[in-house]
Every structure is written in structure tokens, then in C-alpha cells.
């Protein structure tokens, strides 16, 4: 019986001491640790050279993972490395890897090729990797890449991750196409955490599906080389997208366990918080989010031609609570939100906000957000008049029981509309506004009627009109005569019984005309209220 028959390496492989130790550790499922006693020499991204005593060939690792020896009795085979340099090209393309794989603080000499391969669970923690090619990768369990430094990008296009994908505290630089992380069509069964991550290039997640939540807390997405730092149209997240701050606890102690320094608990007082920062455009068009899109504390740094695009997004709650962008645009056209949680200081100014077709049901402002500011918010989104933003705001206020504010919004809508009308329409609009505020303040019409009634009564008391027919008709009553002139439909039998002439005739005609105009504007306003516009 040869050595290979009992689990030893095949003849002619010529294992080094480091590789022999790895072979034995694989069969027992223990960690092969080649770190030194000097911590500064254990940094895979540091300047120190790792010699043959800390190096293993990629060819030997591939042999262990794809066609490795059986475990020793009572053990489970697993590849666990710490502080090891992998020389050569590790190519597992299309392979099926059954053993558990965990590499910590390892240095890869060349890119790691995993396209169309299958793993149970793969953990690469704190490793230095030139590039990770993993298109259509399939894992039954987790894929962990926390604290890794990847110099030429990660490709996870159409990958299928069975449970969690962790990219916490990773540093990923762009590939030759300007993309740091290419994850179009990615599917993650549970959470995708990329907290305190730094990506220098585009993060592309077009059409990706996340089974629970997507967290980019405290991360920095920077793409000075292209139009967008986050490009994720048609993204589906079953729970919440977090673009919020995270506690930065600094360097982690050796041997830290998952989730690798990211804690869900409240940080201690004095802990440094790092905001989510996006330096470049962000595109989330047509996204579906089951619970919320949370932009609390987010910092958006855009140029004039870049956008935070939320076109046609659907989510129960949008928390727009970040820092006001100094340039660029925020576009919510066609988005549908149930709860809009916002504050005045977060929204951009005039010309930098688009809300055509944006609908929401409930407004939850944080901080002081008076109606005057809310109307400025709508005006900033409509450099050209559009009725929908005003009507949506009025509906939300009415549903919240703020009927007075809802009428004020609809009045503002009519005033904006008036500016688009020809001269005759503007004149008629100003008349409606001055008299009864387009019918949204009908009490003003009553005040005008009382004033005109009093003026008319005072004049006609001093200048009674002669009878139309001598000795016929009612007794002269200046108050009833004036009221009959003002009320266009009601007939009190006064105006037809007396003959007006001279100044009285002109005054009577003016009262009749004003009465009709007041009645028309009040009727138009009441009809609008009945239609609940």
C-alpha cells in the first residue's frame, strides 16, 4: 500500500514543509497557522516579504479542495489557513468544493478564479487578493470576504449565495472597466452586509435580489472615474436597505469571530461613527424594498450632472434624513411610498429635485417642517407647473386631519397654475383669489357680501328709487333692495318694483355683476372641495 492510498500526497508532488503541514491539517480539520511572533510581519498587505516557509502552491490547494485525501477517523476534512502566502494561480473554475474553506490573513500572489464553482461555505477573512473572479459562483452557505483588500475588483455576476454575503470592512479597488464590485443578477438568500466597506469604483448590482436586508452602513462608495458610484436598478430587497452610519471600532483583535467586528448593539459612548458616503451618482430605479429605504445621516457628494435616482421605487417607508447634497439632483419621479419620513434640511434646493408622479400617503417630518417650507419643497420640485405634487401633498395632509393645511396647498396650486394662463385667465384668476381665494376660503365671500350690502344700503337709504308703477309694489326698503341686487338667484321682489336711474342705476348694475361673480367663484370652490381635489 502506497502513501497516497492512506491519505498521503501523490508521488512526485514534492511538498515543502509548509505544504506538508497544510496537508496534515486538512485531514484533521485544524488550522494551519504560519504567522510569526512579530505582528507587523503578519499583515498580508504590508511591505514585508513572506518566504518559502510561509508559502504554499495554489496547485496543492486545488488538489486538496477538488480531490483531497479522506479525513482521519473521527475528523472532518477542512482547509483552514492563517498567515499563508498562496503562490501561483488558484483556479477552481467549474469545480465542486465539498470541504469547509476558511483562509485568514492570507496573501494571494495572483487572482483567485472561482467562476461557476460550487462551495458549501467559503470564508476569506482579512486576505490580500489581486482580483476575485466568481461569476455564477454557488454556495449552499455563506460567502465571507470581510476585511479583504482586493486591488482589481470583485466579480459576482449572477452568483447564488445560499445564506449571507459579508463584505464588512473590505477595501475594493476598480478593475480596468472602472467597476469595483460587479454583482449584477446576484442572489443572496439572507443578508448582504457591506458595512464600513470602501469601494473605489462602481458598485453594480443591477437586478440583484437580497432575501432579507442590504446594509451599507458606514461605507464609502467613491467613483471619480464614472457617472455612478452605486448602480442598482431593479434591485429587490425583502426587508430594508440601510445607507446609514455605523460605529467604527478601529482595528480588530486577532482571532475575531463573525460578524468580524460589526455589532448590531448600540455603540458605547464616545465610539467614532462613520457615515455612509456616496461620492458619485446613485441609481436605484425600479427597486422594490419590503420594509424601508433608510438614508438617515447619508452624505451624498455629486457633481452637477449626477443624480440620486429613485425613479419608480416602491417601498412602505422612505427615510430621507441625510445631509443636503450641495450639487446634483434628487429624482423621485414615479416612486410610490407609504410613509415619507423626512426633514427640511435634507432636501436639495430649487431645480435639484424632481417629483413628477411621486406619491406618498403619510408625512412624518422630523424636526420643524412648517407648511410654508413644505410648499417651498413642492415648488423646488416643479420649476414648471405640475398639479400632481400639490394634490399628493394635500391628500396626505387631509388624511392626517390637517384640512386647513390641505386647502392652503390647493390654493397654492391654483396660484401656480394662474401663472401659466393667458392675460384674460390671469385677470379672472386674480379676481377669484382676491374675492374668495378660489373658493378655498368661502368666508371671504360672506365678508364681501356684508360690506357691499352695507354700502348699498347706506346709499339707497339716502337716494330712494321711484316706483315702477305708481301706487303698486312693496314699501321702499333700502336694505332689502340692495340684498335683492346682490343675490343672483333669489328673488325678493324688490329690484323689479323700483326704477333706477342716474348714479343709482350704475350702482345697481355693479351690485348685480359683483353678486354674480361672487356666486360663480364660490360655486367653483365648493365643487372643487366636493371632488376632494
Residue pLDDT, tens place only, 333-386: 999 999 999 999 999 988 899 998 899 999 999 988 888 888 889 888 887 888
pLDDT of residue 499: 64
Q: Answer whether residue 257 shows pLDDT above 50.
A: no
Least confident of 39-48, 393-402, 443-452: 443-452
Q: What are 190-225's pLDDT values in tens digits?
A: 999 999 999 999 999 999 999 999 999 999 999 988
Q: Answer whether residue 533 shows pLDDT above 50.
A: no
CA gap 292, 305 in Å, rounded: 27
Residue 446: pLDDT band with limits 50, 70, 90:
low
Q: What is the mean pLDDT of residues 284-297?
A: 97
Cell of 150: 482586493
pLDDT of residue 258: 46
Q: What does the DSSP assignment read for 424-475? A: HHHHHHHHHHHHHGGGT-THHHHHHHHHHHHHHHHHHHHSPPPBSSTT-SPP
Least confident of 31-35, 51-55, 358-362, 457-461: 457-461
Tell me how crowded residue 25 is: count the other CB atoms within 10 A of its CB.
19
pLDDT of residue 67: 92
Q: Answer whether residue 527 shows pLDDT above 80.
A: no
Cell of 448: 364681501
Please state, in angstroms and as integers, the Cα–Cα distance from residue 207 to each residue in 129, 175, 213, following that order: 26, 21, 15
Tell me how crowded residue 399 is: count the other CB atoms within 10 A of its CB.
12
Q: What are 36-72's pLDDT values in tens digits?
A: 999 989 999 999 999 999 999 999 999 999 999 999 9
pLDDT of residue 253: 45
Q: Answer whether residue 318 shows pLDDT above 50.
A: yes
pLDDT of residue 250: 60
Least confident of 71-85, 254-268, 471-485: 254-268
pLDDT of residue 407: 82
Q: What are 92-150's pLDDT values in tens digits?
A: 999 999 999 999 999 999 999 999 999 999 999 999 999 999 999 999 999 999 999 99
Query: Which has more confidence, 9 or 161?
Result: 161
Q: Answer whether residue 79 shows pLDDT above 70.
A: yes
pLDDT of residue 532: 46
Taking every pair of C-alpha atoms in the chain, what is the biggest distance, in angstroms?
143
Total count of residues recorded for the chain: 533
pLDDT of residue 505: 72
Q: Mean pLDDT across the chain, nearest whole number?
A: 86
Tell me the sheet residues that pair with 498: 467
Tell me the sheet residues that pair with 221: 199, 278
Q: Residues 185, 191, 197, CA angle at the centre, nearest 5°? A: 85
pLDDT of residue 511: 72
Q: Answer whether residue 263 shows pLDDT above 60.
A: no
Give the residue carrying C-alpha cell 378655498.
440
Residue 1: pLDDT band with limits 50, 70, 90:
very low
Spatial contact of 487 and 514, defined as CB atoms under 8 Å apart: no
pLDDT of residue 428: 67
CA gap 96, 94 in Å, rounded: 7
pLDDT of residue 254: 43
Query: Which has more confidence, 85 or 529?
Result: 85
Residue 155: pLDDT band with limits 50, 70, 90:
very high
Query: Which has more confidence, 34 or 249?
Result: 34
What is the SS3 assignment for 128? strand
pLDDT of residue 26: 96
pLDDT of residue 239: 97
Please state, in angstroms and as integers, the Cα–Cα distance from residue 169 to each residue in 261, 403, 433, following that order: 9, 49, 59
Residue 8: pLDDT band with limits 50, 70, 90:
confident
Nearest to 243 by CA among 300, 301, 287, 203: 300
CA gap 137, 164 in Å, rounded: 14
CA gap 293, 290 in Å, rounded: 9
Spatial contact of 171 and 193, defined as CB atoms under 8 Å apart: no
Q: Answer whether residue 426 shows pLDDT above 80.
A: no
Spatial contact of 296 and 317, defined as CB atoms under 8 Å apart: no
Q: Is the dihedral of CA 431, 437, 443, 444 positive or negative?
A: negative
Q: Answer whether residue 442 shows pLDDT above 50.
A: yes
CA gap 399, 340 in Å, rounded: 14
Q: What is the mean pLDDT of residues 415-440?
A: 72
CA gap 237, 186 in Å, rounded: 12
What is the SS3 assignment for 127? coil
Report the percentage of the chain scoring pLDDT > 90: 59
Residue 432: pLDDT band with limits 50, 70, 90:
low
Query: Which has more confidence, 299 or 350?
Result: 299
Q: Answer whether residue 459 shows pLDDT above 80.
A: no
pLDDT of residue 402: 82
Least confident of 134-138, 165-169, 421-425, 437-441: 437-441
Residue 2: pLDDT band with limits 50, 70, 90:
very low
pLDDT of residue 156: 98
Q: What is the mean pLDDT of residues 144-172?
A: 97
Amino acid at each position: 500500500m502506497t502513501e497516497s492510498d492512506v491519505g498521503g500526497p501523490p508521488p512526485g508532488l514534492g511538498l515543502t514543509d509548509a505544504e506538508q503541514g497544510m496537508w496534515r491539517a486538512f485531514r484533521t480539520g485544524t488550522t494551519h497557522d504560519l504567522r510569526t511572533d512579530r505582528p507587523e510581519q503578519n499583515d498580508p498587505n504590508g511591505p514585508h516579504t513572506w518566504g518559502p516557509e510561509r508559502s504554499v502552491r495554489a496547485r496543492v490547494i486545488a488538489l486538496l479542495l477538488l480531490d483531497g485525501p479522506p479525513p482521519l477517523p473521527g475528523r472532518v476534512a477542512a482547509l483552514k489557513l492563517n498567515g499563508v502566502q498562496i503562490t501561483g494561480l488558484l483556479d477552481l473554475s467549474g469545480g465542486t468544493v465539498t470541504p469547509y474553506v476558511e483562509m485568514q490573513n492570507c496573501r494571494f500572489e495572483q487572482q483567485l478564479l472561482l467562476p461557476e464553482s460550487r462551495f458549501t461555505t467559503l470564508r476569506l477573512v482579512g486576505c490580500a487578493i489581486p482580483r476575485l473572479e466568481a461569476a455564477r459562483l454557488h454556495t449552499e452557505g455563506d460567502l465571507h470576504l470581510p476585511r479583504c483588500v482586493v486591488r482589481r475588483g470583485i466579480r459576482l455576476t449572477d452568483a447564488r449565495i445560499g445564506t449571507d454575503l459579508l463584505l464588512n470592512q473590505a477595501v475594493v479597488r476598480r478593475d480596468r472597466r472602472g467597476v469595483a464590485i460587479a454583482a449584477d443578477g446576484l442572489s443572496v438568500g439572507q443578508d448582504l452586509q457591506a458595512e464600513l466597506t470602501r469601494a473605489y469604483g462602481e458598485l453594480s448590482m443591477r437586478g440583484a435580489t437580497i432575501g432579507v436586508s442590504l446594509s451599507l452602513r458606514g461605507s464609502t462608495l467613491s467613483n471619480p472615474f464614472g457617472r455612478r458610484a452605486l448602480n442598482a436598478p431593479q434591485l429587490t430587497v425583502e426587508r430594508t436597505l440601510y445607507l446609514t452610519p455605523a460605529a467604527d471600532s478601529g482595528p480588530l483583535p486577532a482571532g475575531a469571530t463573525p460578524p468580524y467586528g460589526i455589532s448590531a448593539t448600540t455603540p458605547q459612548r464616545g465610539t467614532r461613527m462613520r457615515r455612509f458616503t456616496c461620492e458619485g451618482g446613485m441609481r436605484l430605479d425600479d427597486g422594490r424594498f419590503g420594509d424601508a429605504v433608510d438614508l438617515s445621516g447619508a452624505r451624498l457628494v455629486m457633481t452637477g450632472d449626477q443624480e440620486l435616482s429613485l425613479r419608480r421605487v416602491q417601498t412602505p417607508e422612505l427615510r430621507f434624513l441625510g445631509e443636503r447634497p450641495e450639487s446634483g439632483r434628487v429624482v423621485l419621479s414615479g416612486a410610490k411610498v407609504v410613509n415619507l419620513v423626512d426633514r427640511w434640511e435634507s432636501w436639495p434646493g430649487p431645480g435639484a429635485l424632481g417629483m413628477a408622479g411621486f406619491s406618498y400617503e403619510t408625512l412624518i417630518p422630523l424636526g420643524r417642517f412648517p407648511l410654508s417650507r413644505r410648499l417651498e419643497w413642492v415648488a423646488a420640485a416643479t420649476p414648471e407647473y405640475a398639479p400632481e405634487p400639490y394634490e399628493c401633498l394635500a391628500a396626505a395632509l387631509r388624511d392626517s386631519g390637517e384640512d386647513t393645511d390641505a386647502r392652503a396647498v390647493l390654493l397654492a396650486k391654483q396660484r401656480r397654475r394662474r401663472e401659466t394662463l393667458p392675460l384674460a385667465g390671469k385677470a379672472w384668476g386674480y379676481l377669484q383669489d382676491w374675492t374668495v381665494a378660489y373658493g378655498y376660503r368661502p368666508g371671504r365671500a360672506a365678508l364681501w357680501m356684508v360690506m357691499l350690502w352695507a354700502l348699498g344700503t347706506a346709499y339707497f337709504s339716502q337716494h330712494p328709487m321711484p316706483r315702477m308703477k305708481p301706487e303698486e309694489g312693496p314699501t321702499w326698503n333700502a336694505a332689502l333692495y340692495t340684498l335683492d341686487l346682490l343675490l343672483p338667484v333669489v328673488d325678493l321682489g324688490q329690484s323689479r318694483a323700483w326704477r333706477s336711474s342716474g348714479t343709482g342705476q350704475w350702482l345697481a348694475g355693479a351690485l348685480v355683476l359683483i353678486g354674480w361673480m361672487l356666486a360663480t367663484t364660490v360655486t367653483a370652490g365648493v365643487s372643487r372641495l366636493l371632488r376632494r381635489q
